[in-house]
Amino acid sequence: MNFFFLNSHAHRALDPSERRVSGGAELQVALLAKELAKRGHTVTIAGGDSGQPGHRVIDGVTLRKAGKFHTGALGETLRSLPQVARLLGETKPDFVCVLGWTAWLDLLSRARNFFGYKVVYICGLDPEIDGSFGRTHGWKGKLFERGVRNSDYRFAMSDYQSRLFRQSGLSHGLYRNLIRPRVAPRTKQKTVDFLWVARCQRIKRPHLFLDLAERFPEAKCEMICPREDLELWQEVSDRAKGLANLTFRESVPYTEIQDRYDAAKFLVSTSEAEGFPNNMIQAAQGGAGILSLEVDPDGFIGTFGAGFCANGEFGRLVDESSRRLSVESDWQTEGRGAERMVAEWLDNDANTEAFLEYLRR
């Protein structure tokens, strides 16, 4: 099979020399592309132009540059159209794959008959398929929703997303997240009480983590917050400077980020909504428990005793965080519970095969 992924920055997650980072969706595309290439499939990732080389091969995956399609600016999107079309003509893919929301999904579904490929949509965030996206994201959201409906194949990455697809009457397959294999043994020393990792977006609610850090000046806190919403990032970074118990990092390269999860007792999630967030997976790989305000993908936190979900009540999150600061056994037990989730649910071979099996139907 010949696969073509359109993704802004997945190339960064494949390149071991890359110091810049993006998000979990980009990492998931990189991991899936690498697994497909390992099985002998032809795989191309067309990335947004951020100054990288225009054509190279890493781990069997061909990386191409497709203009500034990722910026959201109309002019740059229009200028990228011929570049994306040229790459589609050159690579002649069987499947064009998109993970997460973008209005490009509609454009790609319209062009498939000309190029002869099938469109594959992989759900990134739960709200992408709960019927709200067109209302909350304007005309781009409406184009995206039309692209989802017109895709040839759709994938959920959690049981909850699968239910949302069924409620919408949309056929789909299911495979779970892939994991980045460890390159070094896990450190046994836990030097951070509460860790927060996410791109700086309003849906992630970074100010709530700062509220938590302020409540517990005795706690050692760390925040890794790559800038995306520039106004929000400036607010958050300025406020973080005033907290003596908080280490603030704008970004950590993909090759080094696992060390930060390894050092944490708990990952704190303040997001309004997610899919199956990669930060929870890497925290679990590092033996960190999960303290979540809102998100508990497929109920794994309770199922595996991996921490606590406050179901949207910030006061409960504060109370449970306070208790865990004083009881050492909790982070050890809940960290082991998170590790069990990874062992039982997230197998790269099984999940890559589930992806391929659905496409073979």
- Judged against a pLDDT cut of 80, whether residue 52 lies above it is answered with yes
Angle (deg, nearest 10), helices 74-91 and 104-115: 30
Q: Is 185 within a domain?
A: no
Examine the domain organization and report whether 123 and 196 are in the same domain.
no
Going across the sheet that includes 95-99, the strands are 55-58, 61-65, 42-47, 2-6, 95-99, 118-122, 153-156, 173-174
Examine the domain organization and report whether 280 and 170 are in the same domain.
no
H-run or E-run covering 232: helix 230-240
pLDDT, residue 129, reads 94
Q: Is 157 within a domain?
A: yes
- Distance from C-alpha of 265 to C-alpha of 247, rounded to nearest angstrom: 15
pLDDT tens for 212-222 read 999 999 999 99
Examine the domain organization and report whether 117 and 100 are in the same domain.
yes
pLDDT, residue 68, reads 85
Examine the domain organization and report whether 341 and 351 are in the same domain.
no
Q: Is 184 within a domain?
A: no
Number of domains the chain is built from: 2
Please state the pTM of the whole predicted model.
Answer: 0.89
Examine the domain organization and report whether 83 and 157 are in the same domain.
yes
The percentage of residues in the chain with a pLDDT greater than 70, rounded to a whole number, is 100
Examine the domain organization and report whether 163 and 197 are in the same domain.
no
CATH code of 92's domain: 3.40.50.2000
Q: Is 183 within a domain?
A: no
The percentage of residues in the chain with a pLDDT greater than 90, rounded to a whole number, is 78
pLDDT, residue 165, reads 97
Q: Is 240 within a domain?
A: yes
pLDDT tens for 180-190 read 888 778 877 89
Examine the domain organization and report whether 336 and 352 are in the same domain.
no
Instruction: Name the residue range of residue 84's domain.
Output: 2-178+347-359
Compute and round to an integer the Cα radius of gyration of the chain. 20
